[in-house]
Structures are given as structure tokens and as C-alpha cells.
Amino acid sequence: MRTQVAEHHPDLHAVIEHLVFSGGKRVRPAVTLLTGKMLGADPDRLVILAAAIEMLHTATLVHDDLIDGSMLRRGIPTVNAQWSPAATVLAGDYIFARAAEMAARTNSVALMQSFAETLATIVNGEITQMFSSRGVASREDYYRRIYAKTASLFMLATKAAAMISQCDEQVVETIRKFGYEIGMAYQIVDDILDFTGDQEEVGKPVASDLLSGLVTLPAIYYMESHPDDQDMEAVLRGEYNNNGRMMRLVKAIRSSGAIKQALDEARRYVERGLEHLEHMPAGVERQALVELSSYIVDRQV
Amino acid sequence: MRTQVAEHHPDLHAVIEHLVFSGGKRVRPAVTLLTGKMLGADPDRLVILAAAIEMLHTATLVHDDLIDGSMLRRGIPTVNAQWSPAATVLAGDYIFARAAEMAARTNSVALMQSFAETLATIVNGEITQMFSSRGVASREDYYRRIYAKTASLFMLATKAAAMISQCDEQVVETIRKFGYEIGMAYQIVDDILDFTGDQEEVGKPVASDLLSGLVTLPAIYYMESHPDDQDMEAVLRGEYNNNGRMMRLVKAIRSSGAIKQALDEARRYVERGLEHLEHMPAGVERQALVELSSYIVDRQV
């Protein structure tokens, strides 16, 4: 990723260095590399693909943080916290361009097409979310949203890794499903951590989704079991200036069964994913993917 | 272009309809189609390529207008004049994704790579411009900027059309140079029209570049022949609130030799372009490209 920007504007170089150093869990490139290795992909193309996937993810985060006005990501300042909105738009565009360039270097037209389709899916999901009414919580909408936001890219990671391997259509299809299931689980757990996580470790304010009117799975479960909760109603109406009310609601959700219900849901996704994985070639990579799947639901950050 | 968005969010559909209906001269797809037809490209792939190029162009305009705060483009409201900044960022991203998808459908990895490289060049050019000091005018910077902003995409249009045709490397290289030359001419003329154009017809304020501190070729020529012009110095320092001063400066540039000098420069680019074109297969398409080249310098809008 880092070698991709050497020849361009020094400030761009700086911002990409910043993003690369900012770390993150690198789950998507890990899934890509393990899947490709498991299926016998050419190592050079595989590394480029993994970097392209992480770059695509990074580009969407840069624009997301700008749109949400987020000042912190992974506990460190976002691009928009340091650059003007205009420069942040362009920084994101540039990273998109570089991601596309790397994807093209994998030398597969079909892969490029999936790559572009996934970007369209992610962006369409964000636009849909933006035009949705505040505080509306349908489980169907929720699943559709987290598919677009997260599972689609996990699906791309596994599918694309298989596409550059020597394997048949059936394998591509099966591993793609694995990617979908663990991607859905990943986002559900992210949404749980938004409630339960330590603010320092998660690197953003607690219940940031609810603060912005976004109803995620723990809140949906809570609302189902507490249909008349006054705090929830107030928060969903946008009356979250009353910080005491918000704290009380977060506490109520945390100590309700909603967190466990959501976590159980995530575990079911992972279980389905692992069933698909069983059809893949056994070996250290498959075992690592099993462990990565457990990590997805067990992580604390 | 229009069929590309049917399945996604209705507001996205609306914004793309808006952009498609907003017209524009469609010079880039015209260049693409004529070049490909001249060189025997497969018609289906060629049409997709032309649409992909115009989509890429449109996506960059959507983000540009947002960054510049432009409210009008081609005389009609920009996306950001109607949507929030956040939604405009995403609308641009979505159009990028669709452009990439279409480019992938041309089924050429090399083309995809050029496509992504061109996007990186365009965005890098904008970032460089953004981080440049206000009012600094070097001819070298100017040419570098208009290459990134405009000529690179004309170059892509011609080169990519040749890449999906049955022609050898030499032809690709020659037509690419033609694209470069007419692209440079196109932007110089655009910059001239910013001074000489009718505000109504051009669809944006007169001397909008200078107002934003951007020094283009007519202003560079004017400064060379009027090194001590007080109005120019004031405007470059950002003192353009004095509207009388700005009007006087625009009038002075218009009636100086600077406009003709810039136009002569554009004509020289076109002449060099036409020399490359002479090596291409004769026929109606080549003739149309000759006429399109004349139009580029003779147009009034």
C-alpha cells in the first residue's frame, strides 16, 4: 500500500502514511490472504489483491468519517480532523483510484468488475442510510445495511481471492458465502461493541450510532423487549442533548438481554460460515480462518 | 449511462438523470467513439467505453463543484446546489463506481489500469492545485495542471479506444498523442472562455478562475506584458471584493493581446494533434476528428 503513492503530491503521501500507520485490525486483507493461500493463488497477485481490498476499505472510511464528522478512528485523528473537507474528499478519491489500480494489477477482468460492483453496493448503502428517516428500526433494513456496509466487502475478499486461484466455480461460490456470513457477524459485533466497548479501546464515543439516530441490532432487540421505553423514544427523536438520558439508556441496553441476543445472532452467522469453510481444503490456512472467525465474535475491540 | 443506475436508490437515480439531462458537449465520448470507429473497435465495447469515460468525467465534476462551491454548471444547478455536501460526496463516489464497472465491461485489463491511473492523475492534479499558493503563476505549473485536469482524460479516451481496436502499439501511441494535444488545446480554450465568454452561455461567472486565485494562460500572458498591473496584483492577493477593480482587470485582459496569444497557443496544440492524426486510417471518422479539433478552438462555449 505504501509504495503506491511515492510519485505523487507529498501531502498525499503524508496522509496515506498516516492511514497506513493508523493500523486497524487488517481483518479484510487477512481473510483475503488466507483464502487465496488456502486455494493456491499466485502469491504476488494475492498480496496486491489484499492491498487493493484494504485500500478500497480505507477510501470508504475517509469519506465516511468526513460525512459523519468523526474526529477519531481507531483512536487516532481522522483525515478530516486534520485536512479541510475539500482535501479529504480528494484524498478519498485518490485512494479509490489507487485501489482500482491495484485491483487491475491482479490481471482479472472479472475481479475488476466485482470490485467496482462492491464499491457501488457500499456507496449505495450509505446513500440509502443517509436518506432514511432518523431512528427507524426494521430488522430487514438493518441486515440490508450491514450487508452493503461490511459483508459485501468480506464477500469480495473471499470471492476475489478464489478468482485468482485455480479453483472451480463451486469453490468460488462456497467461499464467497463464507465471506458473507463472517462479514455479517463482523458488523453485528462492531455494533455490539459500540454499546459495550471501552471508549478508549474502541477509539470513539460509546453509543455513537444511537447518538446519530442509527438503530443497530442491540437497540432493535432492546426495543422489541421494551416497546415503551421512554429514553429510547426520546433518543430516537433526537433528544440526546440530555446526556443523563442517553447514559441511562446505554446502561439499560447493556444490562438487558439485547446484547446477548445480538451476539448469539452473530455466532449463528459464523456457524453458517464455518459450515461452508468445511468444504475447503484442510490445512493451516483453513484452520487460521476458523480461528479468525472465532476472533470476529470474541474480540473486545 | 442511464441504464446503469436503475436498481439502486431512487434519489441516486434522480441525480444521475439530472446529470445526464444537463447535457454538456460530450466531447470526450465523441472523441472516444470516433477514434474507436476509425480504428475498427467492436461497437458494443466502444459504446460502453465512451459512457465509462463520460461517467468518470462526470464523477470528477460532481466532487469538483462541491469543493469549489459552484452552484451552476452548464447553466443548470450543480448536485451540491441541491444535495447536502455529504450526499454529494457519495453521489460522486457512486458515479466513480459505475464508471469503473463500465470500464471493466470493456473486458481489457490494460484499459482498466489506464483508467485507474488517469483517475489518480486527475485527483492528484486537483490536490496539487489545492495545496498551491494562491495566485502563483508559472507557465510550467499551468501546463502540468491542465494536463492532469483535462488532457489526461482526452489521452485516455483516444488510447483506450485504440486498445479495444485491432491495432498495433504504434497506432495506440500515435492516437494517444493526438488525444493529449487536443486535450491541452481544449483546456486552454476553456480558460480563454472564462474571460471572453458570455456569462449566460458559459453558465458560470466571468473570470471565475481569477476570482478563486487561479492563474490561467490568458492571465499569464497578460502578466508577462503588464508586469506592474496594480489590479492584477490586488486580485492575486485576494482583494477581489472591489468589484470595479475585477471588472476593469477582465476588460484589460480581454482587450490586450493575451487572449490572442493564448488562442494561438491552443491552435499550435491542435496543429500538432492533427499531424499525428494524419497517420491514422483516412475516412469519415478521421475527417470528423479533424472537424472536432477545429471546433475545440473555434467554439464560443
For A71-91, the pLDDT digits (tens) are 877 777 888 888 888 889 999
Nearest-neighbour CA in chain B from A27: distance (Å): 23
Residue A150 is predicted with a pLDDT of 97
- Residue B7: pLDDT band with limits 50, 70, 90: low
Are residues A9 and B131, on separate chains, in Cβ contact within 8 Å?
Answer: yes
Specify the higher pLDDT residue, A157 or A129.
A157
Chain A residue with minimum CA distance to B56: A97
pLDDT exceeds 60 at position A133: yes
Q: What is the mean pLDDT of residues B263-279?
A: 98
User: Cα separation of A79 and A14, whole Å?
Assistant: 10
Q: Is B120 on the interface with A (CB under 8 A)?
A: yes
pLDDT exceeds 70 at position A200: no
**Most confident listed range (A50-64, A81-95, A240-254, A265-279):** A265-279
| DSSP secondary structure letters along A77-130 | E-HHHHS-HHHHHHHHHHHHHHHHHHHHHT--HHHHHHHHHHHHHHHHHHHHHH
Q: Is B9 on the interface with A (CB under 8 A)?
A: yes
Residue B241 backbone dihedrals phi, psi, to 5 degrees: -65, -25
Q: What is the mean pLDDT of residues B110-122?
A: 95
Residue B77 is predicted with a pLDDT of 83
Q: What is the mean pLDDT of residues A274-279?
A: 98
**Most confident listed range (B21-30, B127-136, B169-178):** B169-178
For residues B219 and B254, the answer to whether their CB atoms sit within 8 Å is no
Nearest to A63 among B93, B103, B105 (CB): B93
Could you count the other beta carbons within 10 Å of the beta carbon of residue A122?
26
Specify the higher pLDDT residue, B273 or B246.
B273
A-interface mutation test, from B68, B90, B124, most A Cβ less than 10 A away: B90
Residue A180 is predicted with a pLDDT of 98
Find the range with the poorest average confidence among A232-241, B12-21, B124-133: B12-21
Q: Is B128 on the interface with A (CB under 8 A)?
A: yes
For residues B177 and B45, the answer to whether their CB atoms sit within 8 Å is no
Specify the higher pLDDT residue, A273 or A214.
A273
Q: Which CATH superfamily is domain B2-298 in?
A: Farnesyl Diphosphate Synthase (1.10.600.10)
User: Cα separation of A65 and A58, whole Å?
Assistant: 10
ipTM: 0.88
Mean pLDDT of chain A: 89
Are residues B9 and A127, on separate chains, in Cβ contact within 8 Å?
Answer: yes
pLDDT exceeds 90 at position A265: yes
- Residue B178: pLDDT band with limits 50, 70, 90: very high
Residue B241 is predicted with a pLDDT of 65
Mean pLDDT of chain B: 89
Q: What is the mean pLDDT of residues A266-276?
A: 98
Nearest to B86 among A86, A90, A130 (CB): A130
Q: What is the mean pLDDT of residues B296-301?
A: 88
pLDDT exceeds 80 at position A18: no
Record the cell numbers describing residue A197, joined without a space: 466497548
Q: Is B63 on the interface with A (CB under 8 A)?
A: yes
What percent of chain A has pLDDT above 90? Answer: 65
For A179-190, the pLDDT digits (tens) are 999 999 999 999
| C-alpha torsion angle, residues A39, A41, A46, A47 (rounded to 10) | 90
Give the list of residues 6+ apart from residue A215 with CB closer than 8 angstroms, or none: A135, A136, A137, A142, A209, A223, A236
Are residues A101 and B107, on separate chains, in Cβ contact within 8 Å?
Answer: no
What percent of chain B has pLDDT above 90? Answer: 65
Residue A5 is predicted with a pLDDT of 53
pLDDT exceeds 80 at position B150: yes
- Residue A254: pLDDT band with limits 50, 70, 90: very high
H helical segments located in A164-216: 169-196, 199-202, 208-211
A-interface mutation test, from B101, B129, B147, most A Cβ less than 10 A away: B101
Nearest-neighbour CA in chain A from B111: distance (Å): 9
> Parallel, antiparallel, or unpaired: how do β-strands A76-77 and B72-73 relate?
unpaired
Residue B203 is predicted with a pLDDT of 62
Nearest to B119 among A92, A97, A130 (CB): A97
Q: Is B45 on the interface with A (CB under 8 A)?
A: no
- Domain borders along chain B are 2-298
For cell 484494504, the residue is A54
pLDDT exceeds 80 at position A199: no
Nearest to A93 among B63, B109, B113 (CB): B63
Distance of CA A108 to the CA centre of its chain: 24
Residue B300 is predicted with a pLDDT of 82
Residue B10 is predicted with a pLDDT of 77
Residue A71 is predicted with a pLDDT of 81
Residue A228 is predicted with a pLDDT of 92
User: Cα separation of A139 and A262, whole Å?
Assistant: 12
Residues in chain B closer than 8 A to A93 (CB atoms)? 60, 63, 92, 96, 119, 123
For B58-95, the pLDDT digits (tens) are 999 999 989 888 887 777 788 888 888 888 999 999 99
pLDDT exceeds 70 at position B1: no
Specify the higher pLDDT residue, B271 or A203.
B271
Nearest-neighbour CA in chain B from A20: distance (Å): 18
Residue A125 is predicted with a pLDDT of 92
Are residues B97 and A104, on separate chains, in Cβ contact within 8 Å?
Answer: no
Record the cell numbers describing residue B26, joined without a space: 460530450
- Residue A217: pLDDT band with limits 50, 70, 90: very high
pLDDT exceeds 60 at position B114: yes
Nearest-neighbour CA in chain B from A123: distance (Å): 6
Residue B74 is predicted with a pLDDT of 73
| DSSP secondary structure letters along B187-222 | HHHHHHHHHHS-HHHHTS-TTHHHHTT---HHHHHH
Chain A residue with minimum CA distance to B114: A101
User: Cα separation of B92 and B123, whole Å?
Assistant: 13
For residues B69 and B81, the answer to whether their CB atoms sit within 8 Å is no
